[in-house]
């Protein structure tokens, strides 16, 4: 069996277990991160490519900020994604960088109400 199949199987199992029970794994806690470092990590690891420089999202990736999902869910998704987004394992994205990225997303200001923007109410 090829290595990527094994990895895929491991990821699938992990994801399914997380989604189904939510209890079998200990929560993937993230240490408090640095928003400033997270801004750099967000670009360095290519998150901006689909989600935009401030995590606003688009047709290629969902909105991440403001109000990102909780750290545990964020970490689980990034590590075990089996959807359109490729998973980021620890070897390529450290827990520290992941925590910083979450902190960066959390630091994003609330978006203005679209009703207050004339161009969005022609």
Establish if 21 lies at the interface with another protein (CB under 8 A).
no
Establish if 7 lies at the interface with another protein (CB under 8 A).
yes
Establish if 53 lies at the interface with another protein (CB under 8 A).
yes
Burial class (CB in 10 A: 0-12, 13-18, 19+), 72: middle
Based on CB atoms, which residue is closest to another protein, 29 or 43? 43
Task: Say how many C-beta atoms besides its own lie within 10 A of residue 34's C-beta.
Answer: 16
Q: If binding means CB under 8 A, how many residues of this protein chain bind another protein?
A: 43
Establish if 69 lies at the interface with another protein (CB under 8 A).
no
Applying the rule CB under 8 A, the residues between 74 and 93 that interact with another protein are: 81-84, 86-89, 91-92
Based on CB atoms, which residue is closest to another protein, 27 or 99? 99
Two structure tokens written together for 109? 């200001």
Token pair 């909780």 is found at 70
Two structure tokens written together for 104? 């960066």
User: Could you give the residue ranges of the DSSP H alpha helices within the chain?
Assistant: 3-20, 35-44, 48-51, 71-80, 95-106
Round to whole Å and give the CA distance between 28 and 12: 17
Per CB under 8 A, residues contacting another protein are: 2, 4-5, 7-8, 12, 43-44, 46, 48-50, 52-54, 56-61, 63, 65-66, 81-84, 86-89, 91-92, 111-114, 117, 119-122
């Amino acid at each position: 069996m090829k290595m990527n199949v094994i990895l895929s199987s491991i990821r699938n199992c992990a994801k399914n277990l997380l989604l189904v029970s939510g209890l079998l794994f200990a929560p993937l806690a993230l240490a408090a991160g640095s928003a400033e470092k997270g801004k750099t990590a967000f670009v360095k690891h290519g998150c901006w490519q689909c989600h935009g420089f401030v995590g606003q999202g688009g047709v290629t990736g969902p909105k991440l900020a403001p109000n990102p999902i909780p750290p545990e869910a964020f970490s689980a998704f990034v590590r075990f994604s089996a959807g359109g987004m490729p998973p980021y394992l620890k070897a390529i994205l450290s827990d520290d960088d992941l925590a910083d990225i979450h902190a960066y997303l959390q630091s994003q200001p609330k978006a203005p109400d679209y009703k207050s923007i004339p161009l969005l109410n022609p």
